[in-house]
A and B are shown apart, each in its own frame.
Chain A
Amino acid sequence: MNGVKIGDKIFSSRLFTGTGKFSSSAVMQAAIEASESELVTVALKRIDIGNAEDDILQHLNHKRVNLLPNTSGVRTAKEAIFAAELAREALETNFVKLEIHPDPRYLMPDAVETLKAAEELTKRGFIVMPYIHADPVLCKQLEECGVACVMPLAAPIGSNKGLVTIDFLKIIIEQSRVPVIIDAGLGAPSHAAAAMELGADAVLVNTAIAASSNPVAMAIAFKLAVEAGRMAYEAQLAPISSKASASSPLTSFLSNNK
């Protein structure tokens, strides 16, 4: 299995993770290490960027882990661009997970502001990873403005509902020329495996790991599910049939006429 390339980096693990909702930084660190994830998103608002001893950052100090700062909390393109610049300076990375959700209840991404911010950030040399609805047209527009991937949601963030948007995700995967990372709503390893079988390039999972009773074991379960799903995709699934194939009642006349 090959890795997935985003911007200038190749990630051998196709499981990306997050840092919120854990019961302690120590549990977070253990779960992320167990997941073998190489790209871990962290909310800028949660960390003390001026402080080298920030508790979250210290627990992410692992050579395998690349930080993916996200702009969670901003409501406009302008705020997102400002946040991205701060993150680049403080964390020395061009990667940014662009999240603009003016609605604090369901954290629904704002397509208009996200597209605006993505246009500007790509011009400024960022590796932009936008969190968006499973909107195939928006994905193509973002692709045209130079984002490194698209991150459509499977279901409302934190809902653990699985591949609710599956019909649109299939279209996005079919059409996309940049990696498709399915983000938000994956609640079980089986959801992640199914996403990978569809042909997603990677998945991002946070709540399902952090809010489980055993985050370390759940992290390993997701790692295995993502690997299994990818392997199945590469091996190509056998076609689905609801019953055993009958002999050929409609075309048998062709061979019977001797």
Chain B
Amino acid sequence: MTFFDEIAKFDRAEVTRKIYATTDKQVEQALAAVPNVSLEQFMALVSPAADKYLEQMAQISHDITRRRFGNTMQMYAPLYLSNFCTNKCTYCGFSAGNKIKRAILSDAEIIAEAEALTKYPFKHILLVTGESPRKAGVEYLANSIEIMNNHFEQVSLEVQPLERDEYSLLMDKGLHSVYIYQETYDKERYPLYHISGKKKDYKFRLETPDRLGEAGLYKIGIANLIGLEEWRTEAFFTALHLQYLSSKYWRSKYSIAFPRLRPFTGDDSFAANYETSERNLLQLITAYRLFSEDVELSLSTRESPYFRDNVMRLGVTTMSAGSKTAPGGYSNYEENKELEQFAVNDDREIYAVEQAIKDADLEPVWKDWDRSLFKR
């Protein structure tokens, strides 16, 4: 039994219908249920009816987050190792059909990137690749993690889905957490975006967090890509996924991200099917927080400085700063910028973001793990 079986119990159209049929009274009942919001009540929180309760949702979300996480913001940087990809996905800059320059970092280049980043206080690093098992397979990832251990305290991955034993092996090398985004939980429409390549396999991707839980990762990150499908229904299935995982694999921490589609370089330009406004996005963030007091909510540089600065106290617990989405982007941005996955929206330099966090009366936390403590 995996999440594939769990999600099969739900009729997607019926979920959408319920969300849109939510009454004011149901929203008020959901708000009164905090911190024990059921999945049914979560539907009310992401409904159109809840929009006019947004100020109240933001206030509750703020209070819960400050009590649970204190006045802090966890900081990380993504590090792109490779943009080779064998998948053809309609929304992604790394898509196999997209005629862009491809690169994979050598050991020396990985070290150069790490050194460029450790000029800043970063201790948590997220390694990112496209899906190309022959170029950036498990061995390549294991080697990259070992290099990172010399520069950072916590190493995470956002790469292709792997097998359970492969995750165990990478944990032995020092891997802390893995982020794997389903993009859309809509089984029928998933193939429309994932044209060819291994990523076409909806079930294998959907069951990846199960394999991560079995391997005992310290943290598991899930998300859907906002803009592919209607966000409210996708949010429900993300919440369902969180509830399923956190009750079954209770030793792991969980993280939710809310990436909105960003423009990218290449021929296959892709426009979001659904508009999701900043107001919608804030409703989503606060709804997740009201549903779960302890889930990590992570906001990337895909969003604007204005939005990030204003939303950072309202439920978000983790942020990246100064991100480059091209392999080699930190040590030599000018030369490598044409390799990037997408153009970041908040392109402020790291210390400017740090200052914005401090101005919001939050302490940036750069180190919350110690690799020597958790050596396996």
Which residues of A are in contact with B by a Cβ distance under 8 Å? 20-25, 44-49, 73-75, 79, 82-83, 86, 102-106, 158-160, 207, 210-211
Determine if A105 and B294 form an interchain contact, defined as CB atoms under 8 angstroms apart.
yes
Q: List 15 A-B contacts (CB under 8 A).
A: A22-B363, A23-B70, A23-B71, A24-B363, A45-B369, A45-B373, A48-B123, A82-B375, A86-B372, A104-B252, A105-B246, A105-B294, A158-B67, A159-B67, A207-B70
Interfacial chain B residues near A22, Cβ < 8 Å: 70-72, 363
Q: Which residues of A contact B370 (CB under 8 A)?
A: 44-45, 49, 73
A-contact bits for B275-315, CB 8 A (1 contact / 0 none): 00000000000000000001000000000000000000000
- CB contacts (< 8 Å) of A49 on chain B: these are 370
Q: Specify which chain B residues have a CB less than 8 angstroms from the CB of A75 in the assembled complex.
A: 251
Chain A hits for B69, CB < 8 A: 21
Find out whether the CB atom of A211 lies under 8 angstroms from the CB atom of B70: yes
Size bracket of the B interface: 20 to 34
Q: Which residues of B contact A160 (CB under 8 A)?
A: 67
CB-defined contacts of A79 to chain B, threshold 8 Å:
373-374
Contacts of A23 in B (CB 8 A): 70-72, 361-363
The 3 closest A-B pairs by CB, nearest first: A21-B70, A23-B71, A104-B253
Chain A positions within 8 Å of B246 at CB level: 105
Interface residues in chain B, defined as those with a beta carbon under 8 Å from any beta carbon in chain A: 66-72, 123, 218, 246, 250-253, 294, 358, 361-363, 365, 367-370, 372-375
Residue on B with the closest CB to A158? B68
Given contacts A24-B358, A46-B368, A75-B251, contact A207 B373 (CB under 8 A): no
- Judged by DSSP, the binding face of B is loop
19 new A-B pairs (CB below 8 Å) besides A44-B373, A47-B367, A105-B294? A20-B72, A22-B363, A45-B367, A46-B368, A73-B370, A73-B374, A74-B373, A79-B373, A86-B372, A102-B250, A103-B250, A103-B251, A104-B251, A104-B253, A158-B67, A158-B68, A210-B71, A211-B66, A211-B70
A160 to B70, CA, bound (A): 12
B294 & A207 in contact (Cβ 8 Å cutoff): no
Question: B111 to nearest A CB, angstroms?
Answer: 20
Bound-state CA distance A23–B363 (Å) is 5
**Residues from chain B with Cβ under 8 Å of A73 in the complex:** 369-370, 373-374
Contact, CB under 8 Å: A46 / B373: no
Which residues from B are CB-within-8-Å of A74?
Answer: 373-374
B368 touches A211 (CB 8 A): no
From B253, B294, B363, B375, name the one whose CB has the most chain A CB atoms within 10 angstroms.
B363
Query: Whose C-beta in chain A lies nearest to the C-beta of B253?
Result: A104
8 Å CB contact of B70 from A20, A83, A86, A102: A20
Which of A20, A23, A49 has the most chain B CB within a 10 Å cutoff?
A: A23
- Asked if A105 and B250 make an inter-chain contact with CB atoms under 8 angstroms apart, the answer reads yes
A86 in complex: contacting residue of B72, B368, B373, CB < 8 Å: B373
Docked complex Cα distance between A45 and B74 (Å): 13
Interfacial chain A residues near B251, Cβ < 8 Å: 75, 102-104
Given the known inter-chain contacts A22-B363, A48-B367, A83-B373, please indicate yes or no for A104 contacting B294, CB distance below 8 A: yes
> In whole angstroms, how far apart are the Cα atoms of A22 and B70 in the complex?
6
Q: Are B363 and A210 in contact (CB under 8 A)?
A: no
Across the interface, do B373 and A82 meet the contact criterion of CB distance under 8 Å? yes
Question: Which of B67, B70, B368, B373 lies at the interface centre, i.e. has the most chain A CB atoms within 10 A of its CB?
Answer: B373
With A and B bound together, what is the CA distance between A158 and B294 in angstroms? 11
Contacting pair B373 A210 (CB below 8 A): no
Bound-state Cα–Cα, A48 to B70, Å: 20
- Kindly state the separation between the CA atoms of A47 and B374 in the bound complex, as whole angstroms: 14
A106 neighbours in B (Cβ, 8 Å): 294
**Chain A contacts for B369, CB-based, 8 A:** 45, 73
Determine how close the nearest CB of chain A comes to the CB of B177; give it in whole angstroms.
11
CB distance from A80 to the nearest CB of B (A): 10
Give the distance to chain B from A45, nearest Cβ to Cβ, in Å. Answer: 5
Q: How far is the CB of B104 from chain A (nearest CB, A)?
A: 32
The residue in A21, A73, A86, A207 that gathers the most chain B C-beta atoms within 10 A of its C-beta is: A21
Contact residues in B for A158 (Cβ distance below 8 Å): 67-68
The complex places the Cα of A24 from the Cα of B374 at a distance, in Å, of: 26
CB-CB < 8 A to B368: which residues of A?
45-46
Cα–Cα, bound, A24→B375 (Å): 29
A23 to B72, CA, bound (A): 6
Least Cβ distance of A173 to chain B in Å? Answer: 27
B221 to chain A, nearest CB (A): 14
Measured CB to CB, the closest approach of chain A to B256, in angstroms, equals 14
How far does the Cβ of B23 sit from chain A's closest Cβ, in whole Å?
Answer: 31
- The smallest beta-carbon distance between A59 and chain B, in angstroms, is 11
Residue of A nearest to B218 (CB): A104
> Contacts of B294 on A, CB cut-off 8 Å?
104-106
Taking the nearest CB of chain B, how far is it from the CB of A180, in angstroms?
A: 26
Question: CA–CA, A20 to B369, complex, Å?
Answer: 14
Residue of B nearest to A26 (CB): B363
Chain B residues, CB < 8 A from A21: 69-72
Closest Cβ of chain B to A63, distance in Å, is 25
A39 to B362, alpha carbons, bound, how many Å?
A: 25
Instruction: Identify the interface centre among B69, B252, B372: most chain A CB within 10 Å of its CB.
Output: B372
Shortest distance between the CB of A220 and any CB in chain B (Å):
19
Query: How far apart are the CA atoms of A104 and B123 in the complex, in Å?
Result: 21
Task: Give min CB distance, B209 to chain A, whole Å.
Answer: 15
Considering the complex, give the chain A residue whose CB is closest to the CB of B71: A23
Q: Please give me the residue from chain A that is nearest to B67 by CB atom.
A: A211
Nearest-CB residue, chain A, relative to B296: A104
